[in-house]
Structure 1
Amino acid sequence: MEPTNQTSVAEFLLLELTEDPALQPLIFSLFLSMYLVTILGNLLIILAVRSDSHLHTPMYFFLSNLSFNDICMGTTTIPKMLVSIQTQDQRITYTGCLSQACFVLIFGGLENLLLAVMAYDRYVAICHPLRYTAIMNPRLCVLLLLLCLLLSIVHGLLHTLMVLQLSFCTDLEIPDFFCELSQVIKLACSDTFINNILVYLASIIFFGVPLSGIILSYSQIVSSLLRIPSVGGRYKTFSTCGSHLSVVSLFYGTGFGVYLSSAVTDSTIKNVVASMMYIVVPQMMNPFIYSLRNREMKGALRHLISGMPPL
């Protein structure tokens, strides 16, 4: 029977990760552990920055907001999946699905923009150290954060409002563990040309432009470092960028992995694994990267957890 067109949709069906009852407790425990680690790790970063006056700088201001964004990103997707595993109910309401897709777009876009702003902060700190305090003043930091948030909200709402104009068929199975925008658009029976154009434009704007800014910032940083005569001086200066560069590599590396995976394979399981690597893993690993590679952060965390003075 041909699927019939309907403009009023009650619910979608998300992918069931496994049909084997024996594996469901394992998958539930795995994702619950990853979610708890994400929440705890990023919360510790936020508390460490707030509690240590030495970390009240632009770099750590943006880092604490990045950690908060990571908590929100994980909370948008993982709890719903855990509930679905426990209740054996993969349904998600039409409103819930579009809301989830909207928040994923907002927090994903905000992550991109924050990483670009943090790269600019490192560029100013290394290339214009004498003017760093004057340029990266508190007012500018707050304005940059609000601008990133505004652009991300507009991005998410624009796509969501455009999806609201679509009509859907009765076959409403989403081959992923969360409502991903492109997968929702594929289920529409009406013309999706405008929606697809917006997706491509948004990918260029919210991936290409921030990534170009990051590459430009680090090219200027490398150029400035090459003018430092001593190898030790170069290493000490560049070490302040190590954590941020690792986070950028992880985020964009997994993002490109998701894109390539969806382009070269039709395997649903592989697509789900790729989505998990992009939606879950970077947000979980960011606190470890900053706490292990950053001496100031290690000292603040040591002070926060044990009560001992920072290093």
Structure 2
Amino acid sequence: MSRQNLSEQDVLVLLDKLALVEHEVGKVIVGQKEVIQQLLISMLAGGHCLLEGVPGLAKTLMVNALAETLELGFKRVQFTPDLMPSDIIGTEILETDHESGERFFKFQQGPVFTNILLADEINRTPPKTQAALLEAMQEKSISYAGTSYALPKPFFVLATQNPVEQAGTYPLPEAQLDRFLMFIKVDYPSESEEIEILRRTTGNTQAKINAVLNAQQIISLQHVVRDIEISEPLLVYINQLVRNTRPGNSQSSAVNKYVRWGAGPRAGQAMVLCAKANALLSKRFAVTMNDIKQVAHGVLRHRLLLSFQAEAQNISSDDVVDSLLKDLAQPASPFGASSHSSPLSPAV
């Protein structure tokens, strides 16, 4: 395992810093620990994240708080019906050379040229503007007037959206949804958490968030994630799980009954990386079955196109994933011989 020339102690120090990130975000966000952990999984796996929840659940505040804990460039774009693609990626402006008097066009970079881009309420803008992010999310670069511009590293799109049933929303195209590594549902807080929210937000004190990780440390952790071991039986299981989301040849009756289109190969890649990131957060260098189960819903829920019958019977994509995990046989030897060689702690 190369771990980019990092020693075990170096990795442990970085993982301790990750724990501090959760602590710092917790200064302003009450509860939502699972959501914060999934955001960290997406960051470690090098992918983008989509958060969905009704207005008022602190989705934007959560992303802002996470950005403050990281020494990275951060920009926010409020998506509205009149937002244009050039408002995101940039545009050419006419300038004059003061010495020669010659006029020329110069590309002025848009807010996408940053490390963390908060695409706030992304589904409140028409598909033409939503699609402006597609190349940036997939290629980590922007093409304009025949010239390609690389985006800074690392680069994450953390997008929020309101439930598509609400007025004034435009559902994201399936091609763009697939570019999001994870789709996270943000739910209402518990009663005790809501009381604590009222206590914290109605006084004069304001929590100060400290920066914990820098860009190079995040990139190092992303390299470590790719070094995490996954046994062949688990790799085969993930492949079978993804393939069984496709109706017609699926072993799941729920898929054949309620799904119109299933997940593509990108879902399998996302699940492997997210499972590895989840293992690293638990200070393990080997993926377990539990890692896969913990990330399966976030990876698959936005990659399943449900049928009209599912909508009529109020069947959600999470219900279908639950059925898949229940129906698909787990490997007899899920951890493989290599899992116990973890330098940090063995898979359990």
TM-score range, shorter chain: under 0.3
Give the helix-richer structure, 1 or 2.
Answer: 1
The higher-RCO structure (CA 8 Å, 6+ apart) is 1
Give the strand-richer structure, 1 or 2.
Answer: 2
Task: Please report the TM-score for the alignment, with normalisation by the length of structure 2.
Answer: 0.24
